[in-house]
């Protein structure tokens, strides 16, 4: 069982995430490469919301292929190219994660991703005992 840590001696998370998550001994660990808004047919989703939903859908498919779910996420790193997408990114995260346990999280805003068409990229780590 994954164990979350949010010490009372530091400020609480500023969003729906955990400060830290412990992976138990013997758990399978899955490192997921950064996912972008490319749809299953290879086409780029159009617009930020569509790309964000495509990214979360890709993550869900990878987790399912490994016999895992969003509840098994330990850490996500969300990378955006526009500060204006912070709110919509949080909305997409909530929309897609639903009632799943919240992973540890980092959000970065950088000047560019590997393609100028990419508006969001998310990499993740999951674990299952």
Q: Does position 123 have pLDDT exceeding 90, yes or no?
A: yes
Q: Does position 14 have pLDDT exceeding 90, yes or no?
A: no
Q: DSSP H helical segments within the chain, as ranges?
A: 48-65, 86-97
Q: Which CATH superfamily is domain 31-128 in?
A: RutC-like (3.30.1330.40)
Question: What pTM value is reported for the model?
Answer: 0.92
- Residue 126 CB coordination number (10 Å): 26
What distances in angstroms separate CA 40 from CA 54, 68, 84, 127, one per listed residue? 9, 20, 27, 25
Phi (first) and psi of residue 84, to 5 degrees: -65, -15
For the chain, report the end-to-end CA distance as a whole number of angstroms: 6
What pLDDT score does 118 carry? 98
Beta strands in the chain (DSSP E): 3-5, 20-22, 28-35, 73-80, 104-109, 120-128
Task: Write the CB contacts of 110 (distance below 8 Å, at least 6 apart in sequence).
Answer: 79, 80, 81
Task: Write the CB contacts of 29 (distance below 8 Å, at least 6 apart in sequence).
Answer: 23, 74, 125, 126, 127
Q: Does position 13 have pLDDT exceeding 90, yes or no?
A: no
Higher pLDDT, 51 or 15: 51
pLDDT in tens, 32-45: 999 999 999 999 99
- Residue 49 CB coordination number (10 Å): 18
pLDDT in tens, 54-107: 999 999 999 999 999 999 999 999 999 999 999 999 999 999 999 999 999 999
């Amino acid at each position: 069982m994954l164990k979350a840590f949010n010490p009372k001696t530091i400020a609480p998370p500023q969003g729906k995430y955990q400060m830290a998550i412990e992976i138990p001994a013997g758990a399978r660990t899955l490192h997921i490469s950064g996912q972008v808004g490319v749809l299953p047919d290879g086409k780029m989703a159009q617009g930020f919301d569509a790309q964000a939903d495509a990214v979360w859908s890709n993550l869900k498919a990878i987790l399912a292929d490994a016999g895992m779910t969003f509840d098994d996420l330990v850490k996500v790193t969300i990378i955006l190219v526009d500060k204006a997408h912070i709110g919509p990114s949080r909305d997409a995260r909530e929309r897609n994660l639903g009632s799943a346990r919240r992973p540890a999280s980092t959000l970065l805003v950088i000047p560019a991703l590997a393609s100028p068409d990419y508006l969001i990229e998310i990499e993740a780590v999951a674990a299952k005992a």
